[in-house]
Amino acid sequence: MEERRPGHLGVTFLGTSSGQPTLTRGLSCVALVRDGDLFLFDCGEGAQIQFRKAGLRFGRLRAIFVTHMHGDHVTGLPGMLMSLQMTGREEPLPIVGPPGIGEFVRETARMIFTGFGFSLDFREHSEPGLVYEDDAVVVEAHPLEHRLFAIGYRFAERDFPGRFDVEAATALGVTPGPDFGRLQWGETVTTATGETVRPDQVLGPPRRGRVVSYCTDTRPCQGSVVLSREADFMIHEATFARDRLDDARETGHSTAEGAAAAALKAGARRLMITHFSPRYTEPDVLLSEARSIFLNTEAAAELREYVI
């Protein structure tokens, strides 16, 4: 039996612009791929085109998570669902988001005379808590602070078993082979001499699963800190530079410094800023300001995969 251990986990930004697309940036959409399973966070206009450019596979999509109902985060959703229909999807699709996401999709589908051959599992949330889980991952949501109701997400792998001590298992009389695997997966085994060996006798401390947080659109707030506590990869909007602080406060957004301060307070390991105002042709000034507070910051580049 194969050891359960951390596998591939990567994030690809399909859109990094705020409000409107530019010639070089699409609207908000992030693809997270874990061992082949694909999760989308937001789905702005043109997301399905970027999805194809990134070489992602529609059949791998497991769920979509939407932060709020502003158009630059949801207008690509109907088209994405139509592409899934065209590829023959039959598996139900969870769509997690704020109240109203279900009505938006249903009414859009009605108005453009389209339907889907797979069920849409709408999960609308307005309170903190668990919003999705499977055998390998859990996703939690928490309200943020924007001009309208918005939620952020914390994507976390379940803990992995501790490292397997081959020498200890052999000394206890466990025969190499399937029994090694059973112990690694948490099962008790019986040796050839009738002795019982428990997993805790041959496994080290559990290994923490990796955590990715997604916080946009929002002012700096406690919600983003809660979601990003000790996150391996924190994604946070950085719409403006410090000279536009008043604009950020008025529109419910963050400056790059605000995003960095949240990362520092959360104890995140790595910060990725995104959701750049179109006024910034290049995000250099945003990156510089963020790094003055939180050094391990990068500015998201579209269609590049960041491996975690």
Catalytic residue annotation: 72
Nearest one of 85, 67, 62 to 27, comparing CA atoms: 67
- What is the Cα–Cα distance from 116 to 77, expressed in whole angstroms? 13
Pull the structure tokens for residue 114.
């389209």
Catalogue the E-assigned strands of 24-128.
Answer: 29-34, 37-41, 61-65, 93-97, 120-124
- Residue 234 pairs in a beta bridge with 213, 271
The pairing of beta strand 151-157 with beta strand 9-15: unpaired
* Contact of 34 with 15, CB cutoff 8 Å: no
Q: Contact at 8 Å (CB) between 259 and 248?
A: no
